[in-house]
Structure 1
């Protein structure tokens, strides 16, 4: 959980007007009591009216609420359109997350912003190739990237030739037509891009640690500026060599 999300959750738990201990908050948010002490101290220093102290518990004075989210028309359009695109083109968990995010946004927007959100006429329709297998694969890749887990891929290139690779997954990129996995290929000892719809099987091969020269930032520095492996205006050429 991001720290900003955790601070928001602390405020929500304390709004009930009951004395709540740091241990209870720590258990709910799956962090240490020391983290809660630090977070509550920061909230109090920034004017959130929390009473109490470490070892006794905390409670919030009545009448405090978080200010409503304020968005411009362009920001609301971007949020709604982006969520709809992910719902149509993303993984299964991504699509559900986008749906839930739209519901949450609507519940906290003030009336004028809510009207803006409901008047956004940007839509996306999932293509025939966006099936459940591909959606689950995207979700799994995102999880493996977040966990820094090496993957063994069974893959077919654009000619249909099979190949087996062990890679360090770094990111998934959407090109308007296809998703690609950006990875460090241990066979080629270089960066490679794999079309997600051509991955036939994948399995976890243990964790990896970030190494200089093998990170997503290194890929961006080395590859994107030169653009040698991309079709401008379309999907990338495969870099499975």
Structure 2
């Protein structure tokens, strides 16, 4: 990849996320972290408002944008495949939204790219989720977006029931089931709950703000650290 193309792609990656670490950017662009640090410094020197620093992460400052780009045939195919999978996995509201967004994208594609995208031979049947689990999933997703705390009654694998107040951080699909990742105020730590084992879920009026040590980014860093330490112990 030419350096000019890499710099352009670097800006695209940074503007597409709230915070991008040098390690993640290096992996996506298949270069070293040192190269990312140098490229970011060069972009900043050219006036691109990239905020952040090494070891923390980068984000694009407000008010900066690039002209819209046309999707390649492969990118358009990926979008179609993603929407078809999402329609089977997500709730009705998000599925309809994804389909509507895709329709707008397809409408502006050139004929050949549009034909290639619509003919991608990949489909995903609807995941069999009972009505209660789907309703809990949609409520949890909405609460995570709106930063509302949740009161849940949860039955674990030992059939023990507990009442919790949690801060919903993310919902994750594992191929057969959905889980809710949250900061549990009852346990003062991160917890993951199977959505199909939530017996009662009630969004609370109380909102929460990101606090150090209680965010999804903190959990991901903890997992990454534990994996690194485990790998180092195996290699030792």
For the superposition of Structure 1 and Structure 2, which TM-score range results when normalised by the shorter chain?
0.5 to 0.7
| 1:92–1:136 contact (8 Å) kept in structure 2 | no
Instruction: State the TM-score, normalized to the length of structure 1.
Output: 0.62
Please give the alpha-carbon distance, in whole angstroms, between the structure 1 residues aligned to 2:147 and 2:164: 16
1:193 aligns to 2:192 (yes or no): yes
Identify the range of structure 1 (172-181 vs 132-141) with the bigger mean alpha-carbon deviation. Answer: 132-141
Structure-2 separation of matches of 1:77 and 1:106: 10
Which residue of structure 1 aligns with residue 120 of structure 2? 120
Tell me, yes or no, if the aligned pair for 2:85 and 2:124 is still in contact at 8 Å: yes
Alignment of 1:211-222 (within 5 A): 211-222=211-222
Partner in structure 1 of residue 77 of structure 2: 77
Instruction: Point out where structure 1 has 5 or more consecutive residues left out of the alignment.
Output: 5-37, 47-65, 228-241
8 Å contact from structure 2 (residues 73, 114) kept in 1: no
CA shift, 1:160, in A, is 2.3
Determine the C-alpha separation between the residues in 2 that align with 1:225 and 1:126: 36
1:161 paired residue number:
160
Q: Residue 127 of structure 2 aligns to a residue in which SS?
A: coil
Structure with bigger gyration radius: 1
Evaluate the alpha carbon distance shift between residue 225 and residue 174 of structure 1 in structure 2; reply closer, same or farther with a 3 A threshold. Answer: farther
Structure 2: gaps of 5 or more residues: 1-14, 16-61, 228-236
Kindly provide the CA deviation profile for residues 173-211 of structure 1, in whole angstroms up to 9, marking residues without a partner as x. Answer: 111121111100111110000011111211123111211
Q: What does 1:1-241 align with in structure 2 at a 5 Å threshold? A: 70-128=70-128, 130-205=129-204, 206-226=206-226
Counterpart of 1:8 in structure 2 is none
For residues 83-120 of structure 1, give each alpha carbon's deviation from its aligned partner in whole angstroms, at most 9, with x where no partner exists: 11110011121111122123222222221211111111
Partner of 2:226: helix, strand, or coil? coil
Q: How many residues align?
A: 166
Aligned to 1:238: none
In proportion to residue count, which structure has more helix? 2
Question: Displacement of 1:73 after TM fit?
Answer: 2.8
Closer, same or farther in 2 for the Cα pair 1:143/1:107, shift >3 Å?
Answer: same
Q: Tell me the C-alpha RMSD between the 2 structures.
A: 2.5
Cα separation, 2, equivalents of 1:218 and 1:202: 25
